[in-house]
Structure 1
């Protein structure tokens, strides 16, 4: 088993492509987008992901692109600080980095030894004991020894092999929209958060350009994940009339060329594989609200690549057993994080702000 197809050129897919090629596999990556996706909120590289990026030789590049945020300031509608929290000090070489920068570095490292097909996607999968026949939207059909779906929460591979999305994806009632601020901010070390019940607007210093995030509780109708105009209307209606800099941020949102929008969801499957088809990253187990999912994706890709190199098809079960343990530890605090980040009620917001003022200020 040497010829592998990966669906998805994001963080999990590019990391896996690198390590499979490193271990002697012939790797092809197919990605629906026309290029490496930009945008998205800052993410963390920590814990089990650190030795992986170090072994890939990209740690220095990633650190150069890391944000410099040191504090979180909670603001009222007039922009006055309600509380200030020091962000946890990084342990060792842990860092936060814009998602697009992380994805770009991983792709540029992987593409030296793996083939990438952009602006295409899988439309059909048929497997037998010896391989998988794959039909693409644009490319000529091919046969692979193994297919790995690293194509996110709305995975095409999962839908084709395991069944419809609603069987495995459970929205939490929280939605996220992110975009570039379009220029540098004047608070390079502070993340600014403004809340009303069920609503959060955030301005992150990021690097060269600040980042904007709208995180809110809602139950919108069915959403086409590719309908950016609809996404902008949903966010505008949700935040209409709020204070602080929200009117300015909404104006930038309406003029933005690229906006990420999606529901925060939990993905649950009884198994991450069917024969020679395997799921990785958010396609298998989306659990993150604050960026930890990227570290899990990197660690999971490394675990899968190593297991396949050692035991081929037999390594798939070992990968799932080992990585499910990491996923379980990240999933437990998700409800508490959501309650603190986006309190549902005015009373909940008051309690959160009081707790923030009492929290130790040292990192």
Structure 2
């Protein structure tokens, strides 16, 4: 079966890997002209996702590129008060890896490029389904026919728009915005993240072992959705500057770098809430179908798990996409629901709304850094709950390699 996957970031290549392994013929189309190499922002892989990465044979590469961040410093009152904590007190998982998003994407691409067709610099223009397949036209490539189409193209999914309708029908703004910019590592950070918190806003700076530069991360609350287009970068930078005007510490310097940054990301922290992720021969995976909220919901682990489950259910159903899509949604529904709940709490914890909440967050961080590790769990309820949700989701075993070997299909290297 020929499967078209839209999106070459995380879910798309993972899905392509497992589909090729099960004897399918995946093609991945990606709007960007080449694989992104800017580094992206730091993302987390928790136990089940790490297990899947290990089954793909790329865990050594992932661990090689981990950020190596070990310490957090929280600053309040313009940086005059500081609390320090080791991050192993914050993330209590014993099988957790933090890695830059674009590094992870590159590892997944390298694991699939010899066995999967990639079309960079292109996008799906139209989809027409019938009883036997999907007729697809592209912005540049000639039309082609596929048995299935999967949207793995993120929060602003093109496939979702074409098949299910406009994003606003499914999006739920949860009250905050996120921005990430590539900046010089003027604070000489490697294993250390510094985070300044004030009521309604948080600014941080961090780097990674394999990076010469750093990332500035901004989160801020808003009681309403802001007026901008998700591709209008100048407007996004204008909104970010307005949100952080007057904040102390290194924030003015980080904002000044916006004029020179080679990579910038800005988006609302929005959840997608859909009754189904499948329609006919089309389905969605990762943020395209069930984003719990960027930066707060563990969406990278969810994308890896969702892609693995979708491919596995297609294999288990012998290509019966209707049965496979139903099983995929059943397997993921509880996990998605719990991740959304955790994301709501995490957004409030990361960006305290009042001076009292800011003080309480600072005091809790200070205590976690001072008290024995065995007694700090009660101070870390939000993060501990998030880790439990992402660490304990059950992942099924799917068809073995022996059945694939009999089919004569060569698995990815």
Change beyond 3 A, Cα 1:110–1:202:
same
Task: Find the aligned partners of 2:71 and 2:296 in 1 and give their Cα distance.
Answer: 15
Deviates most, 255-264 or 2-11: 255-264
How far is 1:34 from its partner? 1.3
Q: Deviations over 1:103-161 (max 9, x none)?
A: 11111112111111111111111101110111111111111000000011111111111
CA deviation string 1:163-184 (max 9, x = no partner): 1111001121211110222337
What CA distance in whole angstroms lies between the structure 2 residues aligned with 1:226 and 1:58? 33
2:198 corresponds to: 196
Give yes or no for the alignment of 1:7 onto 2:24: no
SS for the counterpart of 2:47 is coil
Q: Who is 1:75 aligned against?
A: 75
SS across alignment from 2:188 = coil
TM-score by length of 2: 0.84
What whole-Å deviation, never above 9, does each CA across 1:176-226 have from its counterpart, x for those lacking one? Answer: 110222337423222111012111100113231321101111345332111
- Pair 177,148 (structure 1): closer, same or farther in 2 beyond 3 Å: same
Distance apart, 1:305 and its partner CA: 0.6
Write the distance in 2 (CA, Å) between the matches of 1:72 and 1:275. 47
Structure 1 residue 310, shift from structure 2 partner: 1.6
* 8 Å CA contact retained: 1:14, 1:107: yes
Q: Pick from 210, 213, 216: which aligns with 1:212?
A: 216
RMSD: 1.7
Matches within 5 A, 1:260-271: 260-271=265-276
Shift of 1:273: 0.2
CA contact (8 A) 2:200 2:351 kept: yes
Distance in 2, matches of 1:202 and 1:19, equals: 36
Matched residue, 1:296? 302
Give unpaired runs (5+ residues) of structure 2: 374-413
Q: Write the mapping of 1:153-172 to structure 2, written as runs, cut at 5 A.
A: 153-172=155-174
Indicate which of 138, 141, 157 corresponds to 1:139.
141
Q: Does 1:61 align with 2:61?
A: yes
Equivalent residue for 1:354, pick from 363, 371, 385: 363
Flag structure 1 segments of 5+ consecutive residues without an equivalent: none
* Partner secondary structure for residue 215 of structure 1: strand
* Post-superposition offset of 1:18: 0.9
1:35 is matched with which residue? 34
Matched, 1:235 2:240: yes
Q: Which residue of the other structure, out of 320, 325, 328, is the alignment partner of 2:334?
A: 325
Q: How many residue pairs are counted as aligned between the two chains? A: 362
Among 227, 232, 238, the alignment partner of 1:222 is 227
Alignment-derived partner of residue 104 in structure 1:
106
Aligned-pair distance for 1:84?
Answer: 2.0
State how far apart, in whole Å, the 1-side matches of 2:326 and 2:225 are: 37
Paired position in structure 2 for 1:123? 125
Partner of 2:84: 84
Report the TM-score when normalising by structure 1: 0.95
Partners of 1:12 and 1:69 in 2: CA distance:
24
**1:268 & 1:282 partners in 2: Cα distance?**
11
The CA deviation at 1:87 is 1.5
Residue 252 of structure 1, aligned match among 234, 252, 257 = 257
1:351 offset after TM fit, Å? 2.2
Kept after mapping to 1: 8 A contact 2:76/2:362: no
Between the aligned partners of 2:297 and 2:60, the Cα distance in structure 1 is 20
2: CA distance, partners of 1:230 / 1:253: 12
Which residue in 1 is equivalent to 2:352? 343
